[in-house]
Amino acid sequence: MSDDPLAELSGVARTYGGVAVLEDVSVAVFPGVTAVIGPNGSGKSTLLGALAGAIEPTDGRARYVGPDAGRPIGYLPQRVPFREEFTARETLAFYAGVAGGDPDEALARVGLSDAADRRVGALSGGMRRLLGIAQATVGDPPLVVLDEPTSGLDPGMRERAFRTAADASGADTAVVVSSHDLDLVDEHADRVVVLDRGRVAAAGPRDRLCSDHGVDDVAGLYRAVVAGDAGGSGDAADAGSGDADRDEPSGVHVTGVSER
């Protein structure tokens, strides 16, 4: 994989109503899968939104530094307001119309070819999340940002959705995903960013971080970094209860088309 970053956050801060959600966050994003983990309300959604260009930092700078592309960044927020009367193919055709790419190819990539003509309103929750991943990867952006793509899914569908997201990464493509599924992070992530109270508590290659903290897996890393106790007195299970970050983007943002 390339040693050059595709995106950078430099000293990023974000406040809402005078309350700091992110403070002095600096992160570089490299090709491969980067997982952002942390307790509820730690700023994961804000970080991903800033990285995707959907949230403007109060201070600092977020910038894409990857190669020129028709759609440099694909973004999946936690809640995507797809039109329920549209079919899956029609939904992706809309995004392909502004970002490029082939809707049928995007559907095949996430295993939804057989559901191409089903209306969004008739899709299961898991299929909608897969459709969201397909939306974020239409046009083959070098940077794909996915906010909780496995949220609310059963274990089998969580595995499928996370694996599909990870498969979108490559030697020249970065996937950044926030998740509370630490077992899936352990299985698929190349790098991990641990947020705690709006700050980066640890960041780097997964294996190196685990080694540095004397733990065997990402769950142990979470306990060691967030709770300050590698022995496990911290509650890593808190990471699996759903996100409560205060700053959800309210719509679908197509970077390069709907800049704000």
**pLDDT 10s digits, 207-232:** 999 999 999 999 999 999 997 754 44
Same domain, 62 and 156: yes
Note the pLDDT of residue 154: 87
CB 35 within 8 A of CB 79: no
Does pLDDT of 236 surpass 80?
A: no
Average of per-residue pLDDT values in the chain: 87
H/E stretch holding 23: strand 19-29
Same domain, 179 and 50: yes
Type of residue found at 56: E
CB 217 within 8 A of CB 206: no
Note the pLDDT of residue 235: 43
* Residue 241 domain-assigned (yes or no): no
188 versus 259: the higher-pLDDT residue is 188
Note the pLDDT of residue 132: 94
Note the pLDDT of residue 153: 86
pTM of structure: 0.86
C-alpha count within 13 angstroms, C-beta hemisphere, residue 130: 29
How many domains does the chain divide into? 2
Mean pLDDT of 22-51: 96
Pick from 125, 141, 157: which residue ends a domain? 141
Beta-sheet strand order (sheet of 143-147): 73-76, 143-147, 174-178, 32-37, 191-196, 199-205
Same domain, 157 and 192: yes
Mean pLDDT of 69-77: 94
Same domain, 215 and 156: yes
Same domain, 59 and 173: yes
Say what percent of the chain tops pLDDT 70: 87
* Residue 128 domain-assigned (yes or no): yes
* Residue 74 domain-assigned (yes or no): no
Q: 138-173: per-residue pLDDT in tens?
A: 999 999 999 999 888 889 888 999 999 999 999 899
* Residue 237 domain-assigned (yes or no): no
Same domain, 13 and 134: no
Which two tokens mark 203? 């960041």
* Residue 158 domain-assigned (yes or no): yes
227 versus 131: the higher-pLDDT residue is 131
Q: 189-200: per-residue pLDDT in tens?
A: 999 999 999 999
Same domain, 171 and 132: no
Which two tokens mark 21? 């959600």
Same domain, 94 and 124: yes
Cα of first residue to Cα of last residue in the chain, in angstroms, is 32
Domain that holds residue 98: 83-141
Same domain, 21 and 147: yes
Say what percent of the chain tops pLDDT 90: 75
* Residue 248 domain-assigned (yes or no): no
Note the pLDDT of residue 6: 97
